[in-house]
Structure 1
Amino acid sequence: MSTFRFQALKETANRKLIAVEKLEKKSKIFGSNVFNDKAMRQFLTPEAYKAVQNAVQNGAKIDRVIADQIAMGMKEWALSKDVTHYTHWFQPLTGNTAEKHDAFFETSFDGSDPVEKFGGSQLVQQEPDASSFPNGGIRNTFEARGYTAWDPTSPAFIYGTTLCIPTIFVSYTGEALDNKTPLLRALQAIDSAATDVAKYFDKNVRKVTPTLGWEQEYFLIDRSLANTRPDLLATGRTLLGHASAKGQQLDDHYFGSIPSRVLNYMRDLENECMLLGIPVKTRHNEVAPSQFELAPIFEEINLAVDHNSLLMDVMQKVAERHDYKVLFHEKPFKGVNGSGKHNNWSLATDTGINLLSPGKTPMSNLQFLTFFINTIKAVHDYEELLRAAIASASNDHRLGANEAPPAIISVFIGQQLTKVLAELEGVTKGKLSPEEKTDLKLNVVGKIPDVLLDNTDRNRTSPFAFTGNKFEFRAVGSSANCATSMTTLNAIVAKQLKDFKEEVDALIAKKDLKKDEAIFNVLREYIKQTKSILFEGDGYSEAWEKEAKKRGLSNFKTTPEALKAKVSKKAIDLFEELAIMNHVEVEARYEIELEEYTKKIQIEGRVLGDIARNHVVPTAIRYQNTLIENVKGLKEIFGKDFEKIAKQQISLIKEISEHIEGINAKVDAMTEERKKANNLSDISKMAAAYCDKVKPYFEEIRYHSDKLELLVDDEMWTLVKYRELLFLR
């Protein structure tokens, strides 16, 4: 074993478990570092408190005078908790969060009269440099101005000694340069469309709130071991590494006993989450060794997205305290489960009803069927756009294997609901007779039980599955910002509900149908139109690929292919109609995501070439030289009979030479293809070249390297192996 690798393993073996201080009850500390309702009532004037509530509930603008009052109260609250700085916390199109800290501390012009200052202008708006963030051509370097603006619907919070104020990020000319702005617009669109439809069933509904419960999967790797792997540090995944003899094949890790050191990390993390108001509830071992999951209680989507973005940052910082490294990459290890971020989505009214949960009466069931079928119709009509929403270089590795859904978007609803839809479709077309109305309500609509959790099963190969009272979008990757997929999902459902209401109202007006009859007629037609998107079987099978092609469903296995749907006329029309994004904002995101894909593959190619040439090949040659010396020694001792005795050694020397030659040849070829790709000026062609010409060499180089890992003396091999990364706690 190499000295470097031995030292890393020794450090891990000798490390003591980190003790976690005794934790208080979660209910006592939950949200104590959040400027929530309790804090606002204590530190704001009644007028300021009312203004914030009006902004949150009704979207009303806050007057600058009131903003000063809010800022003063927020500052006093923060100072009472020993905060020294504040920041506008936003989500640029890097996929990460961003922050620039400013001290509350200020002095007068001559340096006297120091004071802690924070006014309405600092709260409401700031001006970071926009040119240094991805902008897709919206801003030029000489036009760097961009603005962050306070989002009062997501409460400010304290992390460390900094007051963090969630904000949107827009350009000088108003285009969205972040993930939050389009999401907020999409949430406004679905609120309006869903409320209009919900009024068919309850005129008291004034607001519909989309909810999200994400499930965050991740790997925990010892930091000292991770630091020995250049590929893990630079790309977040292992570009080389032979599978361990024992992996996940025994299914013994899933839901198993959580290792003590990991449990200490989880407890510490949960404590931080409680202080920040992130309602984490569930923790467990996932399928792959060293893979885990945590999940929160459902929240309003904007807040849920903010909390997930914040959580990912907190997870890394807490991991440092426990000498761990968190891997969010969708496929950090070949041959074992990848990590997803399942997005559980539903719609809730201000009257306390989950619109995707069947009620106890036929009319409640009709309301459920309306939103249930319209969601299916939205996915059917925009399946390509939904696939594009979860496309990334890292997610391409995950989709289609080891319990991750395939690249084909389909909807799983279970046998019972499939039967319900079939019965509803069979009702006579046109105006319903009294007998048919009764039969429909009692025999079809009234059959749906209040709780469907045990009747819908869980198809792990389905990218979009109904799981009792919500839809689970399983295809979202673990490193992704939820805002992208949730913006798209809420947009397509908003568009569909809007169209649905127009169709129902038109039927009522033209055919003199009653509301229920019109709704039944429209829903029945939707059922007929959307059969192709429903699938209950094995999403991994070749038979499904062939069947999906017959049904006209897309199967974009790579990001460059999938992203084209984002700039289709259909997609641009959708976003512009709902005022979520204009064509400039849509096209900018397409360009940014292609560029990100290209750069990630470029980085992986360069890192792979470096490791292969500077780690693997020299180590293999060193071991080969040892074998050669051994053969020379055998020849001296045994003379002409040495070939019989040294047959295995000679064969091994030849085999090592073949793999060394294979690595060198493939790295050279990959480098040439990378140079060709870099000379392309069109970003879409460059991304395609990296995908089709450069990336295929990765597996070929890996093949030779992984073979050498099995042949070379373990003491010489410099790279920490899978069995060490995945099984050392």
Structure 2
Amino acid sequence: MSEKFNVADIFGEDVFNDTIMKERLPKHVYQNLKETIVNGADLSFSDADVIANAMKEWAIEKGATHYTHWFQPLTGITAEKHDSFISAPNASGKILMEFSGKELIKGEPDASSFPSGGLRATFEARGYTAWDCTSPAFVREDAAGATLCIPTAFCSYTGEALDQKTPLLRSMQALNIQALRILKLFGNTTAKKVMPSVGAEQEYFIVDREKYLQRKDLIFSGRTLFGAMPPKGQELEDHYFGAIRERIASFMKDVNKELWKLGVSAKTQHNEVAPAQHELAPIYAQCNIAVDHNQLTMETLKKVAGRHGLTCLLHEKPFAGVNGSGKHNNWSITTDTGLNLLEPGKTPHDNIQFLLVLTAIMKAIDIHSDLLRESASCVGNDHRLGANEAPPAIISMFLGEQLEDVIAQLISTGGATSSIQKADLDTGVKSLPNLSKDATDRNRTSPFAFTGNKFEFRMVGSSDSISSANVVLNTIVAESFCEIADELEKAENLDLAVHDLIKKLASDHHRIVFNGNGYSEEWVVEANRRGLPNITSMVDAIPTLLTPKAIAVFEKFGVYTETELHSRVEIKFEAYAKAINIEAKAMIDIAGKQLIPTVIAYTTELANSVVTVTEAGSDASTQKALLDEISSYLSEMKAASSALVIADNEANEIADAQEQAKYFRDVVKPAMIALRTPADKLEMIVDKEFWPFPSYGDLLFEV
């Protein structure tokens, strides 16, 4: 019988959340901690000691023996070092379970082996983790037992950010300051804090673990480097939103339970377009908490899959020929009083504050579209962006009919007097209820689409952290707000100045708005005419971090120093080169040790068949023709494998990180395709009993 549980009872039970803090902390310590969380006030060491002790006692009650500073280095995943709560034995040999405020606030993991882009030399090992008290601690259970996990930032001995979180918190701080200036212009003195709110939809593939373990390419690179399409792919679109298979449903149930206990508000689950592809979506959370929750989601998907004899693939394109996976970053701006600055209301044409915020974002996306594109760059995403299931590499904004009509009025007449209103949906069936449809349709081809009271940035890769995208969004919008506030704060007639500025922003940056088909070739031509950048690869996107305007905006708001930007550029080029190098070496290994020997064995048997049939006096022309065809592809594969070895060796001789990344993209990747092509043709000919690993059909349809 299926296990029964009440979601409301278990939700957040493993989180040191506000309710737990209020119960376990002295009132004055609780109030001081809340002041630190909300307003960034300093927290005394004495208060930290009290909090640490309460956190330890709570964690021990849940079975925790260790604690860890849980951080997000520049690897794209999380990192942790576990320390037990035990102290040195006393004279009688007894130990105490201790956890001090100092241990809560600061950790000291070795920083030398994490990517630093030159910020730290190998011999410079010291790095610090700093408690992010705005993201609650939690207890995580696994085979090692229960561990108290404390979300932290990670910086070097000299203060540079070595992680994803520090710049994120800096960008949130910048957005808060500038958004409050905008609100103050409209007479809002009630709101004390403005924070970006994020919900990250997560796509992923699930395959059988036994089959996964037979695929070296999946093990080494996360994607299939060889593989012919099965007779059926996603043509019938019957998997999308289809009934969830029992094995997958059981897996999803356990994922949800674990996430709910960790306070992650997993809400939506469904089959995605490609066979074996699925999606999980949470409810919105404060930006840094949403980033933490998405990392927890990815970790939980992988961990729980293993328990079910499955493997979760988070790569953006694990299977050629079917849809890849992304991560839709839903972003809005909300105040501590519950006001969403992206809520247009029923009559957006006369919602002046909303129109100012909207056009400010238009300006930010237009000016810094290259930065936003770069924020979604990762090696796997190069296989996905621009394909049929993903946004194009060109950044544009979708506003929908209602807002586009309002913007058009502002541009043409200087004012908007009406808004397209919702209408009833007529289904033509009397027994169905009357439905009020939205004032505008959705555009699934838009990279940055307005979807009611938020923007959905759909370019982020499924394996990537959502931190970079939100750092960019927060920072460029903070800049736009700052420039607007600078102008309006000195205006003699605020109403007139706001009116004129909204019109100017709408007119100057309307080129970024596109409501049509983002997949069409016509849009590529039109975008070029508008002067919008079309950055088609990660290698071309990375240098945008070092343009003068990028350095200026990040340094102005203290999000990145120029040194930190240089380090990230170096890390990203190295990451690209290393990933392609691993894929190339895996292909060489698989071709040499599995595929070529397999085909040789099959051709030997086929040749023996030709001899036997011929000696029997029968016609062996069919077998001979097949043998010739296979032998031709085998020769082509052997030559391509040798060429890939040469190309990969040449790439590894290049010292400059950017030039090396370019070589891997321009020379090694085409050589990989040249090796895959004959191998995939051979898979369609060689007897399945001979083929050394599971096919696409086995992986995608036998779960």
Scaled to the shorter chain, the TM-score interval is: over 0.9
Q: How big is the shift at 1:205?
A: 2.4
2:459 corresponds, among 462, 475, 479, to: 475
Question: Structure 2: how far apart are the matches of 1:537 and 1:361?
Answer: 24
Q: Which amino acid aligns with 1:497?
A: F
Match of 1:4 in 2: none
**1:279-337 C-alpha deviation (Å, 9 max, x unpaired):** 11111111100100011111111101001111111111111111110000000001111
Contact 2:420 2:439 in 1 (8 A): no
Q: How big is the shift at 1:361?
A: 5.7
Question: Structure 1: how far apart are the matches of 2:347 and 2:693?
Answer: 63
Match of 2:593 in 1: 614
Contact 1:453 1:467 in 2 (8 A): no
Aligned ranges 1:589-608 → 2 under 5 Å:
589-608=568-587
2:692 is the alignment partner of 1:695: no
- Give the match's secondary structure for 2:616: helix
Match of 2:208 in 1: 222
Contact 1:237 1:332 in 2 (8 A): yes
Match of 2:681 in 1: 707
Contact 2:126 2:156 in 1 (8 A): yes
Contact 2:348 2:354 in 1 (8 A): no
Question: Structure 1: how far apart are the matches of 2:689 and 2:173?
Answer: 61
Question: Structure 2: how far apart are the matches of 1:425 and 1:208?
Answer: 29
Q: How big is the shift at 1:449?
A: 6.8
Match of 1:649 in 2: 623
2:470 is the alignment partner of 1:486: yes
Question: Structure 2: how far apart are the matches of 1:205 and 1:364?
Answer: 22
- Give the match's secondary structure for 2:200: strand
5+ residue gaps, structure 2: 425-435
- Give the match's secondary structure for 2:541: helix
Q: How big is the shift at 1:448?
A: 6.7
Q: Which amino acid aligns with 1:556?
A: I
Question: Structure 1: how far apart are the matches of 2:675 and 2:655?
Answer: 28
Aligned ranges 1:668-683 → 2 under 5 Å:
668-683=642-657
2:157 is the alignment partner of 1:172: yes
Contact 2:314 2:463 in 1 (8 A): yes
**1:481-510 C-alpha deviation (Å, 9 max, x unpaired):** 01111101111111111111122334x24x
Match of 1:559 in 2: 538
Q: Which amino acid aligns with 1:524?
A: K
Aligned ranges 1:161-240 → 2 under 5 Å:
161-201=146-186, 202-240=188-226
Q: How big is the shift at 1:79?
A: 1.4
Contact 2:127 2:154 in 1 (8 A): yes
Q: How big is the shift at 1:382?
A: 0.3
Match of 1:11 in 2: none
**1:489-539 C-alpha deviation (Å, 9 max, x unpaired):** 111111111111122334x24xxxx32221121111111111221112222
Contact 1:135 1:592 in 2 (8 A): yes
Contact 1:56 1:152 in 2 (8 A): yes
- Give the match's secondary structure for 1:500: helix
2:300 is the alignment partner of 1:314: yes
Match of 2:70 in 1: 89
Q: How big is the shift at 1:188?
A: 0.4
Q: How big is the shift at 1:364?
A: 6.6
Identity %: 47
5+ residue gaps, structure 1: 1-18, 429-439
Q: How big is the shift at 1:264?
A: 0.5
Q: How big is the shift at 1:544?
A: 1.5
Match of 1:433 in 2: none
1:268 corresponds, among 239, 250, 254, to: 254
Question: Structure 2: how far apart are the matches of 1:459 and 1:279?
Answer: 26
**1:686-705 C-alpha deviation (Å, 9 max, x unpaired):** 00000111011222211101
Contact 1:43 1:76 in 2 (8 A): no
2:338 is the alignment partner of 1:369: no
Q: Which amino acid aligns with 2:34?
A: Q
Question: Structure 2: how far apart are the matches of 1:551 and 1:363?
Answer: 26
- Give the match's secondary structure for 1:288: coil
2:449 is the alignment partner of 1:465: yes
Contact 2:422 2:438 in 1 (8 A): no
Question: Structure 1: how far apart are the matches of 2:242 and 2:388?
Answer: 18
Contact 1:357 1:450 in 2 (8 A): no
Q: Which amino acid aligns with 1:170?
A: C
Match of 1:686 in 2: 660
1:59 corresponds, among 40, 50, 53, to: 40
Aligned ranges 1:227-306 → 2 under 5 Å:
227-306=213-292
Aligned residues: 687
Match of 1:327 in 2: 313
Match of 2:385 in 1: 399
Question: Structure 2: how far apart are the matches of 1:324 and 1:83?
Answer: 28
Contact 2:388 2:519 in 1 (8 A): no
Q: How big is the shift at 1:209?
A: 1.4
Q: How big is the shift at 1:238?
A: 0.4
Match of 2:602 in 1: 623
Q: How big is the shift at 1:359?
A: 2.2
Q: How big is the shift at 1:718?
A: 1.1
Q: Which amino acid aligns with 1:190?
A: L
Question: Structure 1: how far apart are the matches of 2:648 and 2:306?
Answer: 35
Aligned-residue Cα RMSD (Å) equals 1.7
Match of 2:428 in 1: none
TM-score where L is the length of structure 1: 0.92
**1:369-392 C-alpha deviation (Å, 9 max, x unpaired):** 111111111110001111111111
Contact 1:168 1:180 in 2 (8 A): yes
Contact 1:358 1:448 in 2 (8 A): no
Aligned ranges 1:524-563 → 2 under 5 Å:
524-563=503-542
Match of 1:13 in 2: none
Match of 1:101 in 2: 82
TM-score where L is the length of structure 2: 0.95
Aligned ranges 1:499-538 → 2 under 5 Å:
499-506=483-490, 508-509=491-492, 514-538=493-517
Taking a change above 3 Å as real, the CA distance of residues 361 and 654 of structure 1, as seen in their structure-2 partners, is closer
- Give the match's secondary structure for 2:413: coil
Match of 1:726 in 2: 700
1:415 corresponds, among 384, 393, 401, to: 401
1:571 corresponds, among 532, 550, 554, to: 550
Question: Structure 2: how far apart are the matches of 1:460 and 1:332?
Answer: 22
Question: Structure 1: how far apart are the matches of 2:499 and 2:645?
Answer: 60
